[in-house]
């Protein structure tokens, strides 16, 4: 057998072993034997570059090549599901389906995985593209990272699959992997992930697919789309997908009656505590694809499917200590440190107390037995105290008066629940959080600098404030741990690229309290450049649409600080944009000034986000619901029936894409 024949043989063998181990959970060789075969394949492929194949098992190892995630439009919109929280609401959904179909039907009941949604496209039996949900209309191309997930087939088994189809599912991080990852992060002083969903989502967006490979993500698939599907039922298509090598949950049931559905809900509500991954409910789907088409869609979700969400689990445990965290804007959050307790599949040791009012409300004492819940199965929180169990408890918990990091006296503004540290200039956690915010995607989008890099740059004294980012050199970076020449070059390239970021995102990146992305756009539109904004009076600020007293006071306070003004000058000298560029100024008009517009439906010429941006750029205001003050509805296909009915009742005008674009 020559080298090329051996490569083909090894690929087939390793694909089969991957499926046995990660999908069937029935390995037939040891990990060591698998690694020996994989190493042999890697060596042969390096010696035979003409045999490159993007679906080779060696692709699962990943690479350290930094890249940008391209935005890919979904062929079929990834809609969200309506949520129910009671069996009564499930019964209403069932009766509504029964009335609208007026014929017999089945429901397919399956787990609602608590991970991050993914859409996989296969052509000719090979994985060609993996895209995140994004905004439902477009998402990020994360194909290289998804190829490292062992339970995702790179090449399909068997036969009978369409030449091209899409299959959707959830990328998950198992509880055991999640807990190990958080232990590793805590050991090196990094912030632990709040939950497996955040960990899975964050991992999937890492620039280094070799790191993704090491985090042992998993993936369950649950929905197939395409023009030539093998079955006329949802359940039938899942069974076919299982035969082709996809990981399909065995906890999927066909239900013919409402009692069947309720029995499944009760069973999963108990069984989910034993599952190796996070779930927060079940999904009910009409099984027949013909009936799905008959029922159709609203603007946001299919009428033939709904999610039933479980109530949050509750546990009781002992309060041992209250510590305090300082956020980017200086807000101080109390955290309860607890005796470890099992909750929703993971061990909980800490829970949020939110603010001083919550501490006072519960009259907390060290040693109290407290009730803990996971709000939405995500972040644990204290919801009460077992007062009857209060016996020989410690001292009463009192909110601190000074910043736990820098010792500055805390302040609490009138009408606000939070205390915050006003020392934004030198308080370490504020500085680091502000740098993380500055480099984030919606701000300066410096992708090569993540939380770990921020920690390194700050600890080594290279970046003490955000303007220092633009003073970094290759020589500075290459001396940092785990930072080679290629990584250092990527950082410098990303920093230089950020000089093209428009003014409104630069303003958002500064991290002014209460100035989010939308508020930043309003301020930029009103003042045009940083100098006019810095010198604006209180009266001028509150005249701007959606800028209230609180935001105006925060903006004035920020620019009254000489350190912040110096920061702006340093950033301006570095080349950042602090005025609206001429091209953008030409594109902005006041043609929609004073108009409140609802965007609803699916569009063909532009995406919903693009239409919303056009509305804002031309002086209009996006609103979410129809009311007497709505100027008109920009309507696409499958506009929500409730919005349409309300518009007719109130006499609100309906405008289509062509008419809207003609206005501009």
390 CB-near residues (< 8 Å, 6+ apart): 365, 368, 369
Read off the pLDDT of residues 201-245 as tens digits, 9 standing for 90 and up.
Answer: 888 888 778 788 888 899 999 999 998 899 999 999 999 999 999
For the CA atoms of 124, 128, 132, 138, the dihedral, rounded to the nearest 10 degrees, stands at -90
Q: What is the mean pLDDT of residues 388-407?
A: 90
Read off the pLDDT of residues 28-53 as tens digits, 9 standing for 90 and up.
Answer: 777 667 777 877 888 788 888 888 87
Instruction: Take residue 599 and report the two structure tokens written for it.
Output: 């965007």
**Residue 111 parent element (H or E):** strand 107-113
CATH architecture assignment, domain 503-586: Orthogonal Bundle (1.10)
**Fold that domain 314-389 belongs to in CATH:** OB fold (Dihydrolipoamide Acetyltransferase, E2P) (2.40.50)
% the chain with pLDDT above 70? 93
Read off the pLDDT of residues 593-611 as tens digits, 9 standing for 90 and up.
Answer: 888 888 887 777 777 777 8
Predicted pLDDT of residue 338: 94
In terms of DSSP bridges, do strands 253-255 and 305-309 run parallel, antiparallel, or are they unpaired? unpaired
Read off the pLDDT of residues 422-452 as tens digits, 9 standing for 90 and up.
Answer: 988 889 999 998 999 999 888 999 988 988 8
The whole-angstrom separation of Cα 50 and Cα 498 is: 38
In terms of DSSP bridges, do strands 253-255 and 107-113 run parallel, antiparallel, or are they unpaired? antiparallel
Predicted pLDDT of residue 576: 96
Contact call for residues 251 and 111 (beta carbons, < 8 A): yes
Predicted pLDDT of residue 85: 82
Does 1.10.287.610 match the CATH number of domain 3-61? yes
Predicted pLDDT of residue 156: 95
Q: The tokens 């101080």 sit on which residue?
A: 332
Give me the phi and psi of 103, to 5 degrees please: -160, 165
Domain ranges in the chain?
A: 3-61, 73-309, 314-389, 428-500, 503-586, 589-663
586 pLDDT higher than 50? no
Q: How far is CA 506 from the centre of its chain?
A: 22
Read off the pLDDT of residues 58-107 as tens digits, 9 standing for 90 and up.
Answer: 776 554 443 457 888 898 888 888 888 889 999 999 999 999 999 999 99
DSSP-derived secondary structure letter, 207 = S
Contact call for residues 515 and 548 (beta carbons, < 8 A): no
Read off the pLDDT of residues 495-509 as tens digits, 9 standing for 90 and up.
Answer: 999 999 999 999 999
Q: Which of 391, 385, 314, 312 is nearest to 353 (CA)?
A: 385
Higher pLDDT, 351 or 392: 351
Instruction: Take residue 413 and report the two structure tokens written for it.
Output: 């503004």
Predicted pLDDT of residue 376: 44
DSSP, collapsed to helix, strand or coil, labels residue 276 as coil
DSSP states of 297-346 as a string?
A: B-SSSBTTEEEEEPPPPEEEEEEEEEEEEE-TT-EEEEEEEEEEEEETTE
Q: Where are the alpha helices (DSSP H) in 102-233?
A: 143-146, 175-187, 196-204, 209-214
Does 1.10.3720.10 match the CATH number of domain 428-500? no
pLDDT band with cut points at 50, 70 and 90 for residue 366: very high
622 pLDDT higher than 70? yes
Compute the chain's Rg from CA coordinates.
27
Class of domain 589-663: alpha beta
Candidate from 92-96, 148-152, 192-196, 423-427 with smallest mean pLDDT: 192-196
376 CB-near residues (< 8 Å, 6+ apart): 280, 312
% the chain with pLDDT above 90? 44
Helices 196-204 + 175-187 axis angle, to 10:
80
Q: How far is CA 389 from the centre of its chain?
A: 40
- Whole-number mean pLDDT of the chain? 86
Read off the pLDDT of residues 334-351 as tens digits, 9 standing for 90 and up.
Answer: 999 999 987 766 688 888
34 CB-near residues (< 8 Å, 6+ apart): 14, 17, 21, 27
Predicted pLDDT of residue 14: 83
Predicted pLDDT of residue 52: 80
Question: Which amino acids are annotated catalytic?
Answer: 112
CATH of 73-309, one of 1.10.287.3510, 3.30.470.30, 2.40.50.1020, 3.65.10.10: 3.30.470.30
Q: List strand residue ranges (DSSP E) for 182-278, in order.
A: 218-225, 253-255
Q: What is the mean pLDDT of residues 485-493?
A: 89
582 pLDDT higher than 60? no
Q: Do domains 73-309 and 589-663 have the same CATH topology?
A: no
The whole-angstrom separation of Cα 287 and Cα 112 is: 16
Contact call for residues 113 and 278 (beta carbons, < 8 A): yes
């Amino acid at each position: 057998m020559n080298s090329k024949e051996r490569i083909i043989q090894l690929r087939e063998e390793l694909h089969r072993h991957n499926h046995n181990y990660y999908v069937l959970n029935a390995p037939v060789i040891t990990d060591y034997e698998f690694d020996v075969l994989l190493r042999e394949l890697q060596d042969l492929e390096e010696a035979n570059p003409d045999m490159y194949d993007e679906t080779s098992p060696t692709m699962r190892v990943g690479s350290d090549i930094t890249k940008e995630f391209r935005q890919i439009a979904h062929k079929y919109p990834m809609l969200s599901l309506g949520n129910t929280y009671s069996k009564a609401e499930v019964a209403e959904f069932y009766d509504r389906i029964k009335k609208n179909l007026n014929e017999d039907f089945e429901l397919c009941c399956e787990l609602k995985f608590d991970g991050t949604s993914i859409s996989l496209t296969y052509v000719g039996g090979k994985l060609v593209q993996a895209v995140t949900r994004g905004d439902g209309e477009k998402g990020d191309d994360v194909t290289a990272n998804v190829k490292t997930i062992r339970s995702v087939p790179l090449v399909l088994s068997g036969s009978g699959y369409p030449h091209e189809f899409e299959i959707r599912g959830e990328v998950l991080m198992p509880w055991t992997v999640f807990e190990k990852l958080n232990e590793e992060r805590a050991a090196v002083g990094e912030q632990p992930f709040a939950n497996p969903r955040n960990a899975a989502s964050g991992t999937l967006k890492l620039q280094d697919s070799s790191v993704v490979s090491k985090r042992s993500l998993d993936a369950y698939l649950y929905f197939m789309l395409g023009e030539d599907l093998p079955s006329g039922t949802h359940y039938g298509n899942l069974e076919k997908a299982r035969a082709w090598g996809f990981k399909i949950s065995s906890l999927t049931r066909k239900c013919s009656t409402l009692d069947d559905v309720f029995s499944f809900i009760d069973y999963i509500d108990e069984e989910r505590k034993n599952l190796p991954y996070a779930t927060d409910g079940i999904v009910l789907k009409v099984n027949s694809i013909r009936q799905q088409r008959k029922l159709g869609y609203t603007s946001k979700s299919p009428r033939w499917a709904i999610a039933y969400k479980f109530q949050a689990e509750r546990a009781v445990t002992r309060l041992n200590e209250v510590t305090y965290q300082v956020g980017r804007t200086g807000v101080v959050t109390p955290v309860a440190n607890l005796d470890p307790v099992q909750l929703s599949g993971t061990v909980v040791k800490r829970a949020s107390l939110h603010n001083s009012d919550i501490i006072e409300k519960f009259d907390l004492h060290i040693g109290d037995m407290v009730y803990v819940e996971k709000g939405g199965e995500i972040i644990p929180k204290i919801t009460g105290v077992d007062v009857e169990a209060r016996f020989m408890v410690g001292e009463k918990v009192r909110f601190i008066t000074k910043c736990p990091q820098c010792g500055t006296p805390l302040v609490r503004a009138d009408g606000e629940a939070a205390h915050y540290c006003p020392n934004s200039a030198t308080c370490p956690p504020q500085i680091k959080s502000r740098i993380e915010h500055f480099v984030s995607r919606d701000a300066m989008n410096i992708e090569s600098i993540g939380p770990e890099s921020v920690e390194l740059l700050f600890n080594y004294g290279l970046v003490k404030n955000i303007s220092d980012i633009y003073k970094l050199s290759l020589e500075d970076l290459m001396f940092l741990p785990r930072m080679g020449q290629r990584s250092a070059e990527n950082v410098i390239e990303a920093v230089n690229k950020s000089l093209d970021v428009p003014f409104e995102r630069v303003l958002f990146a500064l991290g002014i309290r209460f100035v989010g992305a939308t508020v930043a756009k309003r301020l930029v539109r009103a003042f045009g450049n940083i100098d006019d904004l810095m010198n604006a009076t209180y009266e001028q600020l509150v005249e701007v649409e959606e800028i209230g007293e609180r935001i105006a006071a925060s903006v004035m306070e920020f620019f009254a600080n000489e350190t912040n003004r110096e920061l702006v000058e340093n950033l301006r000298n570095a080349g950042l944009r602090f005025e609206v560029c001429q091209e953008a100024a030409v594109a902005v008009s006041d043609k929609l000034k004073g108009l409140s517009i609802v965007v609803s439906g699916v569009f063909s010429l532009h995406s919903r986000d693009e239409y919303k941006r056009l509305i804002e750029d031309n002086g209009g205001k996006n609103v979410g619901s129809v009311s007497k003050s709505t100027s008109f509805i920009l309507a696409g296909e499958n506009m929500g029936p409730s919005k349409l009915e309300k518009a007719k009742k109130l006499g609100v005008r309906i405008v289509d894409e062509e008419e809207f674009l003609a206005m501009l």
